[in-house]
Structure 1
Amino acid sequence: MTDSTDTDEPMDLLLARQPVFNKSQDVVAYLLLYRNDDNALTINDHLATSSVILNTYASICQHGQVRSLPCYLKLTDTTLMAENFPELPKENFILEILGHSDITPALIERVKELGEQGYRLALSEYKPEPKFEPLLNLVHILKLDLQSIGLDTLPAMVKHLRPYNLELLADKVETKEEFRKCYELGFALFQGYFLSKPEPVKGKKLGSSKVLLLQMMVELQNPQATAQSVEQIVINDPLLTYRILRVVNSAAFNFPREIESLSHAISLLGFDQIRKWVSLFLVTDTQEKPEELTRSMLVRGRMCELLAEMLGREQPINNFIAGLFSKLDALLDMEMPDLLTQVSLQNDVKAALLNHEGQLGQILEQVCQYESGEFDDMTFLLDKAFYETAYRHSLNWSQQVMASLSDK
């Protein structure tokens, strides 16, 4: 959990991924979001030969198993029609034709050729216009933009598309209610940020185990805190006591001395490591939530921490906590202001979570923009290559943590 990014080879493009879900809200693919300095990605340079992309951006630890998922790759007209279009591994990539493409007979023929070669094909930004009809007989997946189409007109559109036997993907699903309506209409795939939005339960209070973990977080941020004061909180929960002792005795912490007490274990780990593990226990204890929510929280927290380290900021662990907790409202189905009234976090962490204010909020906002692919909106605090390296490292780190936690 403390490995470095020193060995990560920098890439000359900004690259992030967005999950594609099935009806069970399991991740079944990723959409690659990318930009390089000239805003024109060359597939030959990066995707046809890049083991980094396949090993990191397509890799996932899911239900305790590490495996590779296919990636949706958006193709511009220029790339699609290029004579030197590379032979990409068909099991790893789904080729996405953009709805604003110039749909000429030549482009239609090219799409037909790619389908005959065995590529899975998707069409995005679809509208019920005659120019799209030829492509509906050639592609396998059709992406419908909910925010552009609107839920009211969706049923009629789905009915019109049914004879084509397409796999329908609901794009830009922002709420759980939108997810449910698309599910009922027969959509098979879903993309958007609906997992990051809470479904608040009025008057909801935190459960006792969550309260205890948050009390620990508060105590660990107290300058006067000691191993003994933290121990007094932990010993109220036998399971938490056992989990901390198990962490100390794990292969990751090979201490030569015998553990004499819980406070001794806390002293050996150090407060920063205890903070991190308590945070991980907090986000992985909500079993009814999809794994992707936990995964995305870990990635965001770790990337915030890494950028803070690269910038030489004090106490990078607070950036980790701010990033991790930025989706705690979705995990616990509580509005963030209501959640923060039930726990006394530091003021700078609260300001970052509520309004992206202060130094913690500055980094948190940048990480949120990066993971959404909003690269043009970012005001970079470091060289762009550091962001991609930090994001890629965070993906790998989150995978290691998910695998480790599935063994416990």
Structure 2
Amino acid sequence: MPWPSPPVVATGFPGAVAPVRVGRQGIYDRRRTLVAYELLFRNHGGASADLAEGAEQDHATSQVISATFGDFGVGQIAGDKPLFINLTRGFFTGELPIPFPPHQVVLELLENVEVDEEVMAGLRRLKDQGYRIAVDDFIGEPGRLPALGLADYVKIDVAAAGDAFDEVLALAREHSRDALVVVERIEDDALFARCLAAGADLFQGYGLQRPVTLEAVSLTPSQLVCLQLVRALTGTDVPIREIEDLVASDPALSLRVLKTVVSAATGTKNEITSLRQAIVMLGPQQLCSWVVLMLLGGVTGVDTESLTMVLARAAACARLAPAVADLAYTVGLLSGVASVLGMPEADLVDTTGVAGTVREALVQRHGPAGAALRAVLAYEEDEPCAITGTGHAVYEVSRAYLAALSDAMLTVGAVAGDS
């Protein structure tokens, strides 16, 4: 029979590959030893973001959280050091989800958040859950004093406090005896020495470290899939297979799920070998939280040709290795994402932190999943001789790929048609 022409494999993802930026600035102790980082939102076109009230701040905060735990991986940004993250009112009152565990984050209560009973109740709830709280930019406002009683850190802007700095520091000590005082806007050695003599505990500012902007390329999950997931995850008795199918239908979302489990999961030594395992470990509530944040972060755009290629490659690998179908799907998925991003597969595996079995199959092409990937890639490159070297028949691979391509086109058509 004639050799079927393989589809053209896209090398770019116009409209759906977005640069993700976060800023990072160090926080230092009295000996000028780096002890923590603060995460800062960065616009793509500039060094910093001037944030408006309400929805725009929620949007920026969601991008910081999503990028930190989904695109970079917390270890790439901060190692094992605490991360201070600015949160807006909705995160403290429970209107917006906090989708990460408390062990490595400090939640900063911004200066423009009114400390009312609703916020105080949220602070108590978060403290009970094990989160650490920082009251940001405190300059002695009476209305913020109740929050100091629950604070683990009190941050004082030395420039804003001005001549009243010593009084503000004394007020912070009086109302939050166990909290560490962090002085911000340390611009030079003289100001560091002054605040050190005043008794401050931690220090942050350009005189110690200028903010560093980190940038990575990220696939943006489609809003339609995110909305479908929210509906499914908030329903009752939704089969795990339905959740898995929805996540698997969007390569970017699949990649974020894999990264998020590695970055945010605590207390587990299990290696991640499949998308299903990652979804189960993340759990429906945590997954729903991330999907909500992705929607808030303004995720948009799907390039149908590239998306079809990624999904077809993943599904074809699964069809060719039915004994390890979950592993093979994940390997094919990551291979396709690497092609779209123009990133070496080994680097992509490092950023996701998936198991050694995934690396062996994806990078070294070992095992049934690795052989399936080699066969699928050879099919895409129109190299029938290379296919036979994988142990698979040309006809078998062609049939598997065309079936996978048909399913992928239906999935992409549904997404593109409704988005």
TM beyond 0.5: no
What TM-score do you get using the length of structure 2 for normalisation?
A: 0.40
Pair member with larger Rg: 2
What TM-score do you get using the length of structure 1 for normalisation?
A: 0.41
